[in-house]
Structure formats: C-alpha cells, structure tokens
Structure 1
C-alpha cells in the first residue's frame, strides 16, 4: 500500500482557470449549472432526444461518501488461459497498430463466463486497449453492466462527475445537445489533448476499465491511447534504472476545485497519494511509466525545478510517442476496454456543432501500484 501523504495539499495548477473552462476532461461533464435536461429529453435544433435517458447525469449535492478504505484486489488475468479459448473462439480480431490496440467482433462481453472474463483481463493487459463492437452494454439494465464490471474489482465512485439516478458507480462523460462551448474552450487552448490515466490520485487506482458509447457525434470525439509499457521500454537501460525507486505525488485537489468552481459536486474529500514512477503489472509482469500531467504533481525528494524537468521529459516522451499510440474511433454498440495501469489516454474535442457526446464508464479499482526490481 502506498504511504499516506502528510503535507499541505497542493494548490490548483496552472491548467485550472477561473473561467470554469479548465481542461477538456473537466469541461466534458460540466456539472449541474451547465446541464440542460430539457434539451436532453426533447432534443434541440437538429439534435434528437437522448437515446438513453436512463443514463442521463444526475447530481446529488447532499450525498457524500467517506474516504475509500483499502481492499484486497485479485487480478483475474493471472488465472487466464493464454490461448483465450473462451474469449476469442468466434472472434475476428484486427490490430489497430503493431504494439497497441485491437478491434474485436464476434464476442458479446455481457455473455462471458468467468473463464472468459479472466481471459478478457489478460487479453486487454496485453493489447492495452480493445474496442469491442456490436455490444449490448447500453441496452441491458445498468445493474447488469455493473455486475459484469464488478468481477474485475471494487467499483470506483467518482468524486465529481454526474451519474445515472440510483447508480453512483457509473461515471458519465456527457456533452449535451446544443453545447457549442468548444468554441470558448479553444479561445484559451490550441488543442484538447490532455493525457492522463484515470483517478491515479486514489491509493488503489483502476485496472481493467470499461467505457461504452451511448450517443455520439457523426464524426469526432475519438479517444487517443498510449502504451505506457512500450514508453518505458523505449528508454535507455541507464535511464530506466534511474527512474526505479522514484515516487511521485498524485493529487485530486485540483479536480475538486474545478468542480466547485463550475457549480458541480465533490462527493468525497480530495486525496493525495504517493505512487512509484514505474509500476509492474501483476498478470503480465510488464513495467510501465506511471505518471500523467493531469494528476501527477511532483517527484518525492526532488526540488521543484528538478521534478518539473524530469516530469516534463516523461510527459513529452508519452505525448510525442505516436509509434506507441492508437486512436480509437467510436461507433454505436462499442465498448472500449483498457488497462488503466499500463496506458494513458485523452479524449479529443474536435466537433463544435452542438452534437451530443454521451458515454458511460465502469471503473473497477485494482491493486495499489507497486514496483519490482530493475532488470537490465
């Protein structure tokens, strides 16, 4: 278990601004003040009503949650048959790139046996991100989707996002019909790329993660993914060796401040955690870089200039590594599954015409990040 941080929490970063626009991930679910329920239920202009009103976001400002407690996580990928007979026996697999990403047809995730789920955990850990097409996740009862996701770990309840009524475990990414604030966003930013791994400020961040499309623009709104294990392997052995043993502070403080600023909610007091810069995957044994510019704040034991210098190198290394990145395109019936321990991702805000973008995420938590010894 990562040690608790006992120091003054970090203050909002330079990426947080008082206009409430903030980074794209923050703007993507703007909170109750930005939400227009009438437009979602009735449609607006050429945009029809929401396809899945049962998944429309709600915010209960009175409901709060206590701090998360540690739990014992078991990675089912360790039990998987590496030939994937239960998962892929009828599947058509198309690699997205040579070293990250795949598209799969002919598999219905909601029908998998436990053995198939074990194989799913391992397959996704190996491929890093997999787009499963023609899925029924959006159409089955929400609780059934949650029951499926719960096999992979304890459900994470996001501290600031909206959730479907009665299902706080579902994290919603929602940009409503008629929302053209992308134009405002690009008055302050030249691009919308915000690389991150989800909620790494938790003591036990997510592992196998599910995101499925409910409604989306005709074009645009793709998601970028980066292979953090390949990014680690690309470094020289001497540089890898230097990174081992280092730890970094990950913070939820800025996200909570942004939510408060835009009239949103904070369902749990923001936390900070210390995690190793290099973490090991429990099923594959791969080592991966585990920092990201959205939640990582500084390297423990380094002076500010030293920490900023090294983190900037790592962030640039990940962002510029297009040869270990993939771009996943969304389509109706798509469930994208990734391993949050060994990937980073970024949504793309590349449409401005007011089309709705509505997705649901199921986010099982995994083990506390740990590091195994350096091997040259």
Structure 2
C-alpha cells in the first residue's frame, strides 16, 4: 500500500497529478512518467505550477520525478524560476561551482556529478572511512549558498548508487528544548577550501564570481547560523553538515568539536528522518539545500553520472520568531 498523499494545501496546483510521500518526514514522489517537468515550463499556468513545486520541495525536502525528458537549458530555467517565484534576491543566479571550468561542454552553470569527475575526486579520502562522512548540503561554504538543486541521473550502475536525504526540520525538532535554545543564535564556519587545493593540483582556475556578487574570491568559507529559518516554510532547521562545517564560532575548539560531532551523528544515525532513493534512468530529484542534507552511496563499480543545477538563494538567517515544523503541524515530539 502506498503512503498517504501529501495534503492538497501543500501540493496546490500539483494535486491533479498522482503523488505519494516516501516517508512521514521527507520525500514525495510523482511516479508517473507522463508528469513531465518540461511541460511545467510551458503550461498556461506555468508560474503557478513552478511556485507550487518550489513550495512542495521546501516542505517535503526532496521531490522525485520519473524518466524525465527535461534538457540542460530547461533544467537551468527551472532551477532559476523555483527561487525567483518564491522570493529570492534578484542578484542570486545559478551557482558556478569553483572547479567547473568555464569551457566545460555543458557550461559552467552545470555540475557534472560523475564517478569519474572532479567533483567526486576533490574530497575523496582514500583511507577506509565511514560512508556517513559524506552527508552535506550543497555549497554551504559560500556566503550566499543554495536554495534549490535539481539532479537528473542519466547513467547508472546495474546495482547500487542510491542517494539519501535527511530532514533538517526533523533534525531540529528531535533535539531537547534546552539544546535547541542553546544552539539558536550560534554561528558556524563552513569551509570548502579543499576545492581550491584540488584546483591548484589540477591546474584549474577557481571560478570567480560564482553566481552572486557576494560569492567571490578564492577563500571558500563563510559563517552561517547553526539553526536556520527557511523563508518559504518559516520552519527552523539544523544547518551544519559533516562535509563543510568546521567550527562553531562562539564555542571553544574542544566544545565546538564535541557539539558538531554530536549533530553530525544526529543526522547520520537517525534513519527514520531520512529517505533513500533508488535511481532509474533519467529520474530527477529536486531538493531544498536550506533545510536538508544528502549523501551518495558509493557501493558500485560501474559508471554513474548525472547533471546538477544549483540555484542560489538568500544569505542564511535565523528568525527567533519562527517555529518548528512539528509545532506548526501539531505533531508530537
């Protein structure tokens, strides 16, 4: 039996299409390949559909579509309009990844997610490490990080290569009231300078600027709130991640290490606030990087490749008047 469908109040104009929630806290799927994102771009009510899609993604974390025909230019258009129609700053465009070369075949606004590519190799640790070390939200090392990301997978191994997402809303909600209060208002440094080191070793020039006036220079670091408010939903979310968050500014080094390690484990080990997706050829996932985390599963030997568009949003903020997802929905803690 399929899970209960997402409420019409969140689906809006998308309620005419068959969908179901993958888990109670994160993930909604539109399983019918007749539902095409490319058609959303040209529909008479295109703005309504895309705004409702962005709202759904922000509420449900990640949304999946089956066997899509959307091409690169359409993927870029959709990535742009998701944020524009939900109020992002006019200066925030599509991200240019630091190590995507300007002469790349698909252009510098497309990140090729490949088992053979630079993005995969830039932070690979050859030593045996836990698979859970890969949890992250995209490009949080930028002053203006991502709002939405769109990934279309076109080349897949016969077995393996799943992707997991975890809800930052639920991660926040599961903390004790005292710990929530402690974390609210703290800030943390996010660092992606391993990309600079990789660029130097590979003879690649770091992209500059990278989709927003604030995202400039070759110091790939930024300071963001530990608890962040999503402007689309108004919900509070945990906003630290294993790959990029290095230090909580207001704490001593030892205190910061202890708190961050707990929060990283909190995301990775609570499998009931995660969703795992088994890709099929040309499936598309759209997620909100402001309030979710994700990680790939490197359990395959064959080639795996897809194209990702990363849109830029607003400078992260914490609104002390914002509420948690469970509080708004009336769910028990």
Aligned residue among 81, 95, 99 for 2:25: 99
Aligned residue among 145, 169, 192 for 2:131: 192
**1: CA distance, partners of 2:12 / 2:250:** 47
Whether the 8 Å CA contact 2:10–2:55 is kept in 1: the answer is no
Aligned residue among 79, 103, 112 for 1:149: 79
Is the radius of gyration larger for structure 1 or structure 2? Answer: 1
Aligned residue among 204, 219, 227 for 2:159: 219
Aligned residue among 236, 241, 246 for 2:176: 236
Pairwise CA distance, 1:304:
0.7
Instruction: Give the aligned CA root-mean-square deviation in angstroms.
Output: 2.3
Deviations 1:168-224 (A, max 9, x none): 1011111249xxx99xx7861244331100000111111121011121111111111
**2: CA distance, partners of 1:208 / 1:316:** 24
Structure holding more helix per residue: 2
Matched length? 285
The alpha-carbon distance between structure 1 residues 344 and 117, as it changes in their structure 2 partners (threshold 3 A), is: same
Pairwise CA distance, 1:371:
0.3
**1: CA distance, partners of 2:319 / 2:202:** 41
Q: Which blocks of at least 5 consecutive residues in structure 1 are unaligned?
A: 1-80
**2: CA distance, partners of 1:148 / 1:162:** 22
Q: Which blocks of at least 5 consecutive residues in structure 2 are unaligned?
A: 1-7, 41-45, 84-92, 209-217, 328-333
**1: CA distance, partners of 2:15 / 2:290:** 23
Alignment match, 2:111: 171
TM-score by length of 2: 0.80
**2: CA distance, partners of 1:279 / 1:85:** 25
Whether 2:251 is the aligned partner of 1:305: answer no
Alignment match, 2:36: 108
SS at match of 1:344: strand
Whether the 8 Å CA contact 2:100–2:108 is kept in 1: the answer is no
Alignment match, 2:234: 285
TM-score by length of 1: 0.71
SS at match of 2:11: coil
